Structure 1
Amino acid sequence: MPYTADKPVPPPSSDDLRRRIPGWGADLDPADRPAVPRERFDPGATGAHWELPEQQPQTGPRERSIEHGRLPPVFGTSVPLKGLSGAIRGLAYRRYSEGRAAHWLLLLAADRVDVLESAARSVATPRPDNPITQTGILSEPRRHGWSSRVGRGRADTGHHLIDPVIVGLPWAAAGGAAYAAIRMLRRVVGS
């Protein structure tokens, strides 16, 4: 029977559904449900010997949403808060609820600032990142980059003009900052 907006009269019985649809109602009997032991609270059966695990010590700044009274007992982070981007992330978590757009916009801004900080850090190292080889721009003419994008109905064709700006702008900004710093240093040392 196809699905329609009308309610079937009378509704099919459980036995009828079980006959027509293989496997229908397989979890109606709690004895057949594999999750039933987990649905019962029985600490003696699981071997749990605590109400809440011991709290992990907090060694550095850690973001915590204002909706939560405390951090979970065990936590970690793939990106510890650092620099200006860390301060922006901290502000987002300290001041705004996760239900507010300002919270997420600040986190997005912190990500962009982190990209600039990383580019600046890279320029300051003995072996800075190489944007020419690491962005894959050299593969564009070698691997049919343009022909794989045009005329194929791709949704990302609007990005083609702005992608070089997004990728190149942090490098140009870092290079400009380095040039300005060297120029200022020469003026200070020269005078």
Structure 2
Amino acid sequence: MAYTSDKPKPAESSDELRARIPGWGVDLDPKDRPAVPQERVDPDFSGAHWEFPERQPEKWPRERSIEHRFLTPVFGTACPPRGLSGRIRRHAYARYSEARAAHWLLLLGADRVDELESTLRSFVSRRPDNLVAETGVRAELTRRGLSSRLGHNRADVVHHPIDPVIVVAPWVVGAGLAYTLVRRLARRRRG
């Protein structure tokens, strides 16, 4: 029974499990368990003060794994899925089991698409992203960035040369594409 205070009943009896799994039930004898003096067993006590927890209201359709009949009683609401990344996430949950690699690869791809969407959204807003502050370039120059990395047996030293490429290259490519687009539009208006 999913999401209740009841514990599920074992499918097999102790004798069947002991016959099938070598060493199963080795701690059934209280003399073999080191925690026995502190152990208090009450089979009717589950620790829960509810039969089924109160359900959180669902303000919009949430992603739900196809393995589950319904949503968990409590779920996150901080980032509602939106745009293309939201569609990719919904597809991953609606189509693939959590046991499939495709499910997780689609969710990873949706994260990358979401990052791109938020970057594009910042360009059209009145307050675009501050690349110098957010990428830590200023801190590299003023807060001993290079000396803090060298000579300290850090595992991430090997990828330092590629960091500027990974961080800066998308912005340079984007700026180049924007420049080319604006230039073509200007030529069309003139000609």
* Same fold flag (TM > 0.5): yes
Query: Separation in 1 of the partners of 2:176 and 2:113?
Result: 16
* Aligned-residue offset at 1:183: 4.9
Taking a change above 3 Å as real, the CA distance of residues 181 and 93 of structure 1, as seen in their structure-2 partners, is farther
* Aligned-residue offset at 1:96: 1.4
* Identity, % of aligned positions: 52
Q: Secondary structure of the residue that 2:153 maps to in structure 1?
A: coil
CA deviation profile, 1:84-142 (whole Å, cap 9, x unmatched): 11111112111111111111111111111111111111111111111112221112122
8 Å contact from structure 1 (residues 119, 171) kept in 2:
no
Query: For 1:87-106, what aligned pairs fall within 5 Å after superposition?
Result: 87-106=87-106
8 Å contact from structure 1 (residues 119, 174) kept in 2:
no
After superposition, the CA RMSD in angstroms is: 3.3
Query: Separation in 2 of the partners of 1:108 and 1:46?
Result: 36
Query: Separation in 1 of the partners of 2:79 and 2:183?
Result: 34
Q: Which runs of 4+ in 1 moved over 6 A?
A: 187-191
Taking a change above 3 Å as real, the CA distance of residues 170 and 87 of structure 1, as seen in their structure-2 partners, is farther
- For 1:148, give the aligned amino acid: S
Q: Does the alignment pair 1:123 with 2:123?
A: yes
- For 2:108, give the aligned amino acid: L
Taking a change above 3 Å as real, the CA distance of residues 137 and 46 of structure 1, as seen in their structure-2 partners, is closer
Unaligned runs of 5+ in 1: 1-13, 18-23
Unaligned runs of 5+ in 2: 1-29
Aligned residues: 162
Query: For 1:138-177, what aligned pairs fall within 5 Å after superposition?
Result: 138-176=138-176
Query: Separation in 2 of the partners of 1:86 and 1:177?
Result: 26
TM-score after normalising by structure 2: 0.67
Query: Separation in 2 of the partners of 1:87 and 1:60?
Result: 14
